[in-house]
Amino acid sequence: MEKTIGQIIKEKRAEKGLTQEQLAEILHVTGQAVSKWERDESVPDVTLLKPLAKALGTTVGELLGEGTMETTRVDPETVDLSKMLLKIHVDSKGGDKVRVNFPVSVLMMLTENEELMNMILSGKGGMFKNIDFNQILKLVTLGVMGKLVEVESADGDVVGIWVE
């Protein structure tokens, strides 16, 4: 099911750690306006789309539901790993939601430390135990960006992994 613009705004705002009031202040609108957008009771004015996307660290296309960027390959020399995020989204059949945004630079440190990595992998019921972070890092260092994995399991769980 495609996400609404309200859901996307809410999700991106949470990822940035902004409150509705803080986002409203950046855009010179009221907190109520942001609240209405997120509940899909109204939509942002077209003139606000660019500043809104900028404030949320995304693109206008993504706000409008074009989806996160598809997998792309960039020149590994130009990749700045210190700015990159590994995003893991899990929506379980039971309605549980897990969102993890992990700086790639921190992930690199983790993969060098077996003890710590095991601790992370066993967290939240071992939800991440089947993710091969070393392979993901290998892809990233080769310049592969965007959506890396999307899984809809037979149990109804949906897992997505992005690097952006």
Task: Give the residue with the Cβ less far from another protein, 122 or 153.
Answer: 122
End-to-end CA distance of the chain: 22
Does residue 100 come out as left (phi exceeding 0), alpha (psi in the -120 to 50 range) or beta?
Answer: beta
Q: Which of 74, 116, 151, 158 binds another protein (CB under 8 A)?
A: 116
- When binding is defined by CB under 8 A, the residue of 1, 2, 17, 47 that contacts another protein is 17
Closest by CA position to 19, among listed 49, 56, 54? 56
When binding is defined by CB under 8 A, the residue of 69, 110, 121, 148 that contacts another protein is: 110
Could you say whether residue 101 binds another protein (CB under 8 A)?
A: yes
**Site residues for another protein, window 37-96 (CB under 8 A)?**
82-83, 85, 94-96
The residue from 2, 46, 70, 97 that contacts another protein (CB under 8 A) is: 97
Residues forming contacts to another protein in the complex (CB under 8 A) are 14-18, 82-83, 85, 94-103, 105-106, 109-110, 113, 115-116, 119, 124
